[in-house]
Every structure is written in C-alpha cells, then in structure tokens.
C-alpha cells in the first residue's frame, strides 16, 4: 500500500511539472537559430550529397528532359455476337533523337496503333507519325512537330565496351508515372532474346534495374547520362518486375535508325538461301532463291531427281529428292556456324553489295564459295 501511494505521488508531481513546462512554451513559434544548442540534431544542408547520390542526381537532371511518354490508340473489331469496333490503348516510353523531332522507341510499343501521341517533359503533347519500324530488332522511329527549343536530344554512348557490374540507369513511364528513374547494374551481356518475328536479337544487355509496364522504349543510361541501350523486355511470370530486364544495345540501334528515317524500313543484305536444315555438322542448304546471289555463286540445294518406273504395261514417273547433292555450310568468313540464326546474323553484319565467303562441305571436301550479297527486306 505504501509503495502504491508513493508511485501515485511521483506520477502526480511529474504530471504537474510537465503541464507547467508545456504552459510556458511558446505556441506555434518557428524554430530559430537561438533555439539550436550544441548537441541538438540538425538537418544537413540540401547540397550535402554523397558522391553516389550526386551521380544519380546528375544523370537524372541531364537526361530526364530527353525522355517522352508515348500513348497509342488502336481500333479492333469484336465479332463475338456483333461487329463492333472498340478502342484499345497502350503506353510506353521513348527518347528524343534530335531537334528535328525524331523519337526512338520499341516497335512493339506502336504496333497496330492508329493514333500515336508523344508527351514531352513540359507536359506538351503532340501527335506523332511513324517514320519506320523494324520488328526484327524491335526498333521504331517516330516524328513529332514540336518547337526545337523544347527538344532535348539524348546523348549517345557506346555499347561495345560495357562491363558486367557497371552501374546503369533506366528512365521511363512505368504505369504512367512519367520520367521515373530506377538504378541497377549490368548483370550480364550478350544475351539472346526472341523477337516478334521469330528471330533472335543478339548482344542484348541484361540488367537488374526495375522495369515495368510502360518502361518499354525508354533509355538505358550510363553514369555520364549517355544512352547505351533501349529497354525492351523483362523476364517475368507475373508481368511485373522480377529483377531481370533486357535492353537493346545502342550500337545496334545506331545501325538501324538511319535506315528507318531515310527508307522507312531496314534494307537487309540478301544471300538468296531460302531454307536450311540444322544438323550437328552445320547447315544443309535445302532451297535457293531462283536467280539469287547464292544460286549465281554456284551453291547447291536439294536436287529433284525424276525417274521412270515400269509397272506391268504402264510407265510411271516419280520425283525424288536427292539430299546428298546439297552443300553443307560450316562457316561464314572463317567463323564457324551451327544455327540458322548464326548465318542470318553473319549476313546482316554486312551491306548489300558486299561479299561473304561461305565454307561448305561438298562431296566430302571443304571448299570456299564467295557470294556477293543482294538486297532484301
């Protein structure tokens, strides 16, 4: 009982002291310099950033005005019960290429769109026209008619000397949140990624910076705010970020973009081989384009052999395929190949009119066949 009375007395005295202290404190008064005493917690000045934070801020401040928000509208026909047109909307990101209004983005961002609009950093929105798209490498170029002084072209870097572990920055519009920056590292290089044209995109950059819906087409930057890639896809079972993203290297982009601006499409070199079969030894040529570069160079595909057979009083003509006649491609310009995509990649590294040398096995021996490339889609 004495202990309880003592505790109550102490509580009462403390309560009275606290009430008196609060009563003497000024009300709604700002903290002044005279109130700050040694030992009190102080906020650091706003310019007191760590070196790492300073890099992050500089990258964003130098590059964010180059990033645009892309919205699309497409009309589709629903025919479940009635023929009714409905509207489908999409969104993505892009980068300003120059003061003429060219904008870089992914081909899949604008695929099938009847209306494309581009919103700049200042909130101004402009209708965009499609200059050209390359679904094979998922690259597209748009054009907007905006004042040159409102356009801030992205600075180009070099993707040839990238290193795993290098710090990278992604800026885009995930979920419509404009010019959002995420930070990560290059987690791997030289990945292969299937495109929508059943081709493999080579030399893809793998990153762990967060990418989500709406980031497609946005820039991947290095620590000096230079474009080193374009964000294009994520690896995910849920459709949201799992820490594995992919970007198209800027050097690949720079090979394609001038053609899209000038021609509206990519003019690829053509070797005139229309079908091959993959084997463990190499690629067997099945068919050649009639009059194409490969046929003119003397390469061989499957040969059709017609034979006549007598059955009783009747004579039948049968056509058989002679696969042993076909050439087996084992190398291009001295580089061994195994897959059909290896052959396509080696050819596309050239230009129409240039020459490649195919190493082929014919009748048990290896020969070299020079082929002058034509042009195709």
What DSSP character marks residue 45? P
C-alpha to C-alpha distance for 65 and 152, rounded to whole angstroms: 6
What pLDDT shows up at residue 19? 46
What pLDDT shows up at residue 84? 45
244 is written with which tokens?
Answer: 């594995």
Helix (H) or strand (E) holding 69: strand 67-78
The answer to whether 54 touches 91, Cβ cutoff 8 Å, is: no
Catalytic residue among 66, 95, 107, 138: 138
The answer to whether 376 touches 268, Cβ cutoff 8 Å, is: yes
Burial annotation 342-365 (CB, 10 A radius, 16+ → b, else e): bbbbbbbebeeeeebebbbbeeee
The answer to whether 195 touches 136, Cβ cutoff 8 Å, is: yes
Residue 216 bears catalytic tag? yes
- What is the DSSP track for 181-219? EEEEEEEEEEEEEE-TTS-EEEEEEEE-S---TT-TT-E
C-alpha to C-alpha distance for 106 and 83, rounded to whole angstroms: 31
C-alpha to C-alpha distance for 229 and 363, rounded to whole angstroms: 46
What pLDDT shows up at residue 365? 93
pLDDT in tens, the chain (377 residues): 444 433 344 344 444 444 444 444 444 444 444 444 455 445 555 568 888 999 999 999 999 999 999 999 986 555 444 444 445 577 899 999 999 999 999 999 999 899 999 999 999 999 999 999 999 899 999 999 999 999 999 999 999 889 999 999 999 998 888 889 999 999 999 888 887 776 778 889 999 998 988 899 999 999 999 999 999 988 776 666 677 899 999 999 998 999 999 999 988 899 999 999 989 899 999 999 999 999 999 999 998 877 777 777 776 667 778 888 999 999 999 999 988 878 888 888 888 899 999 999 999 999 999 999 998 76
Catalytic residue among 108, 187, 203, 327: 108
Closest CA to 205 of 196, 95, 219, 213: 219
Cα separations in angstroms, 277 against 30, 59, 274: 80, 48, 11
What pLDDT shows up at residue 3? 43
Residue carrying structure tokens 């009275």: 16
Residue 375 bears catalytic tag? no
C-alpha to C-alpha distance for 348 and 344, rounded to whole angstroms: 6
373 is written with which tokens?
Answer: 């490339």
Q: How many CB atoms lie within 10 A of CB 114?
A: 11
CA angle 306, 307, 311 (to 5 degrees): 140
Closest CA to 220 of 192, 185, 188, 194: 185
What pLDDT shows up at residue 49? 86
Residue 102 bears catalytic tag? no
Domains assigned to the chain = 63-150 (2.40.10.10), 155-265 (2.40.10.10), 269-376 (2.30.42.10)
Phi and psi for 348 in degrees, rounded to 5? -70, -10
Cα separations in angstroms, 291 against 257, 294, 362: 31, 8, 21
The answer to whether 87 touches 73, Cβ cutoff 8 Å, is: yes
Catalytic residue among 95, 203, 216, 345: 216
Alpha helices in the chain (DSSP H): 2-24, 51-63, 107-110, 250-263, 293-296, 340-348
What DSSP character marks residue 32? -
What DSSP character marks residue 34? G
The answer to whether the Cα torsion of 247, 250, 252, 254 is positive or negative is positive
Residue carrying structure tokens 């499409």: 265
This model's pTM is above 0.75: no
């Amino acid at each position: 009982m004495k202990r309880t009375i003592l505790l109550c007395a102490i509580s009462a005295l403390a309560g009275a002291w606290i009430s008196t202290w609060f009563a003497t404190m000024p009300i709604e008064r700002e903290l002044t310099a005279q109130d700050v005493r040694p030992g009190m917690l102080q906020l650091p000045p706003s310019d007191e950033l760590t070196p790492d934070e300073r890099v992050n801020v500089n990258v964003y401040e130098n590059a964010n005005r180059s990033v645009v928000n892309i919205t699309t509208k497409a009309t589709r026909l629903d025919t479940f019960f009635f023929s009714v047109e409905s509207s489908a909307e999409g969104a993505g990101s892009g980068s300003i290429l120059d003061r003429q209004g060219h904008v870089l983005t992914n081909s899949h961002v604008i695929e099938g769109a009847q209306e494309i609009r581009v919103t700049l950093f200042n909130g101004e929105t402009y209708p965009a026209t499609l200059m050209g798209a390359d679904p094979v490498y998922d690259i597209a170029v748009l054009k907007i008619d905006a004042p040159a002084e409102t356009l801030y072209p992205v600075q180009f870097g070099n993707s040839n000397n990238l290193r795993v572990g290098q710090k990278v920055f992604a800026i885009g519009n995930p979920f419509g949140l404009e010019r959002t920056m995420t930070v990560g590292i290059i987690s791997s290089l030289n990945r292969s990624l299937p495109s929508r044209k059943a081709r493999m995109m080579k030399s893809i950059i793998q990153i762990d910076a967060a990418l989500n819906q709406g980031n497609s087409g946005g820039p991947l930057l290095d620590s000096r705010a230079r474009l080193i890639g374009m964000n294009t896809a994520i690896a995910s079972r849920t459709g949201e970020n799992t820490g594995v993203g992919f970007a198209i290297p800027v050097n690949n982009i720079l090979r394609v973009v001038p053609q899209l601006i000038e021609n509206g499409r990519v003019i690829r070199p053509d070797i005139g081989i229309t079908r091959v079969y993959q084997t463990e030894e190499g690629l067997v040529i099945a068919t050649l384009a009639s009059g194409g570069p490969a046929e003119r160079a003397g390469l061989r595909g499957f040969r059709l052999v017609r034979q006549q057979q007598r059955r009783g009083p009747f004579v039948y003509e049968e056509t058989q395929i002679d696969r042993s006649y076909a050439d087996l491609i084992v190398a291009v310009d001295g580089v061994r190949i195994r897959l059909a995509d290896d052959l396509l990649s080696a050819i596309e590294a050239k230009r129409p009119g240039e020459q490649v040398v195919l190493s082929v096995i014919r009748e048990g021996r290896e020969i070299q066949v020079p082929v002058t490339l034509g042009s195709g889609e």
